[in-house]
Amino acid sequence: MLVMLAALLAVAPLAARAAQTARERPAVCTVVAIGSDQAKHRRNSFRATRILDLEFETLVSADVGLERSLQLRLYTPQGFLYQVLETRLDPSRGGKRRRVQARLPVAGTSIMASGLYGRWRAIPHLDDGREPCGQARSFVIKP
């Protein structure tokens, strides 16, 4: 019994260290598509008066053994953080690469009310990280 307890106590720190190492592995996140149900996918420019919302599709390459979250930080044309779209990555679904979708409402929001038109940026981050896990993707919202 003591031998079994000692073996379990020896393995626990190794498992915790493995989980921490997996979380520290660099992940790659790529915003692969921005679109709307009212406009064709794979566009970079949208008219606010013709769409209800925008859908962002992001490809995430990360360790699937851990629960993680993807944040798309959306910046206005003036460079201010407008909104953070957060999606949980379910470790039980998919492999090491998976597609994640998030929606940004446009119609009836402050985008239209305040005239936040111009070139926006979507920057992906993983697990509240300070550094992005991928390149920024630009898109344009026109009046």
The full set of domain ranges for the chain reads 26-142
Determine the pLDDT at residue 17: 47
What confidence score (pLDDT) does residue 22 get?
46
Residues of the chain with pLDDT under 50: 5, 14-15, 17-22
Question: In this predicted structure, what is the pLDDT of residue 27?
Answer: 81
Task: Report pLDDT for 59.
Answer: 93
How much is the pTM? Answer: 0.78
pLDDT at 134: 95
Q: Which residues of 42-63 are buried (b: 16+ CB within 10 A; e: fewer)?
A: eeeebebeebeebebbbbbbbb
CB of 6 closer than 8 Å to CB of 13: no
Question: Top-level CATH class of 26-142?
Answer: mainly beta
